[in-house]
Amino acid sequence: MLRYFIWTIGCQMNKAESQQIAGYLDSVGHQSATSFSNADLVILNTCVVRQSAENKVLGTLGLLKGLKNKHPNLQILVTGCLVDSDTQELKRRFPHVDLLFKPGDYHELIARSKRRGVFIEQEASLSTTPSPCAFIPIIQGCDNFCSYCIVPYRRGREVSHPLGEIVCEVEELIRRGIKEVTLLGQNVDSYGHDLPEHPDLADLLNELSSIDDLARIRFLTNHPKDVSLKLIDTLASLNKVCEHLELPVQAGDDDILRDMRRGYTLEQYRELVHTIRRQIPQISLSTDIIVGFPGETEEQFEHSLSLVKEMRFDVIHVAAYSPRPGTIAWREYQDNIPSEVKKERLHKIEELQAAIASEINSQLHGKDVEVLVEGRKKEKWFGRTRSNKLVFFEDDDDWLGQLAKIQIEKTSPWSLGGKVKK
Ligand code: SAM
Ligand code: SF4
């Protein structure tokens, strides 16, 4: 038995993959450790989407080098977007790492670990650990090549998981007590185009909806250029599919969107949001915005602010542009917006969004919402509404994994608080 510690940074896909690796290690008899220092095996699941994330990864690798010097038996495995095709170069830079494997490439992990006799002692299937919510990758990679983005270079081209396998995986998770699944992909709208019968995301949602005891289904991320009317109809008609979409717009200016190679105009994005809101008025929308893209003028940034005011998103993930070596934007444009200007723009969007989210959430005051309870934090139960709002409440009963009806008594831009409606 080994004690393992998984360090994860980055998107939901990374979190899902770490969950799967933990499930696998548990199933072959290993135990999770509470920190690097009491682990025999450390797995770093890395992100290099922005320089700030990459810096954290490099810092952690440095820390582990010191730890390995003190404890030479410590095994260090690295996966995630740091691992590109040139693993030789990474091995040269980080000789203290025992194994590098590409994101999602568990076959590599199992095969190589067995060959080296490192830590895998018996066969077991990869699975997620029990919890009321599970993340399930349905499509790996990305074919889009947005000009700023490193993901297609690190995660490769799109590969969909067969529909039947996803259904079996969800059925197995339900047997273990899962109530909610979130289907993951860099672009879930591309799901199935590479499979023999070309099923799409709507087909998958229909299949999953018929599974008894599955209470909720979510999916992310959608690409505005690819969301189909069939998907919107399906979202509107299936009860189990939650009213929440992650629809990253990235910028509020057509010239910037063109340079980002996003494949849609603002008018098309607006039209899409109107269609979705017409059919599903209670939909909650999240988006991503990048500020300080090369050449972004004050006026172009103002267009992003205006879009935020107009669209009234529920949540915005805002990021300062970070040049990523090897991407189109890195090759073709100069990173010419000073970092103080990027920071200032980022704060302006965050401030505006906090005011908007505060107004949107305050409308829930006094209302009843359904919360799937995920756990406890600071003596309170917490979980999410169908619209993905985080809710806290106090109660003496055991609510873990239950659907609770909560009357909202407190709201903020980031979360809600309430009491159980008995
Ligand atoms: N596939 C999704 C999409 O189409 O938007 C998102 C995937 S990406 C890994 C997550 C977010 O990171 C993006 O939405 C974008 O806002 C941000 N991002 C990606 N590359 C970036 C860069 N070079 N600089 C700043 N933010 C970046
Ligand atoms: Fe990156 Fe664009 Fe693919 Fe999203 S769609 S992962 S932003 S290339």
pLDDT per position as a tens digit, 90-116 = 999 999 999 999 888 877 777 666 655
User: Looking at ligand 1, which atom is closest to the CA of residue 329?
Assistant: 23
Looking from the CA of residue 250, the nearest atom of ligand 1 is 16
Q: 5 C-alpha to center of ligand 1: Å? A: 27
**Crossing angle between the packed helical segments 201-209 and 229-237, to the nearest 10 degrees:** 20
Ligand nearest to the CA of 10: 1
Mean pLDDT over the full length of the chain? 93
The pLDDT confidence band at residue 2, using thresholds 50, 70 and 90, is confident
**Considering only CA atoms, which of 404, 409, 415 is closest in space to residue 374?**
404
pLDDT at 212 over 70: yes
Q: Is residue 121 scored above 50 in pLDDT?
A: no
**The pLDDT value given to residue 13:** 92
The Å distance, Cα 115 to ligand 1 centre, comes to 36
Residue 248 CA: nearest ligand 1 atom is: 5
User: Mutual orientation of helices 163-175 and 201-209 as an angle, nearest 10°?
Assistant: 30
For ligand 1, mutation pick of 11, 47, 49 (most atoms within 8 Å of CB): 49
**Model confidence at 128: pLDDT above 70:** no
Specify the pLDDT at position 116: 53
**pLDDT of 129 higher than 80:** no
Q: Which two structure tokens, joined as six digits, stand for 169? A: 């995986």
> What are the pocket residues of ligand 2 if the criterion is a CB atom closer than 6 Å to any ligand atom?
142, 144-146, 149, 151-152, 186-187, 223
Encode pLDDT of 296-355 as tens digits: 999 999 999 999 999 999 999 999 999 999 999 999 999 999 999 999 999 999 999 999
* pLDDT at 124 (0 to 100): 46
Look at residue 86 in the predicted model and tell me its pLDDT. Answer: 82
Which is the closest atom of ligand 1 to the Cα of 327?
Answer: 23
Residues 166 and 205 sit within 8 Å (Cβ to Cβ): no
> Which pair of tokens denotes residue 357?
């989210």
pLDDT of residue 47: 96
What's the gap in Å between 50 CA and the centre of ligand 1?
Answer: 8
CA of residue 256 to ligand 1 center, whole Å: 14
Pairing type for strands 390-393 and 3-8 reads unpaired
Round to whole Å and give the CA distance between 221 and 286.
Answer: 10
- Sheet containing strand 284-291, strands side by side: 244-246, 284-291, 315-320
Q: What is the pLDDT of residues 355-382, one digit of tens each?
A: 999 999 999 999 999 999 999 999 999 9
| 149 alpha carbon – ligand 1 mean position (Å) | 6
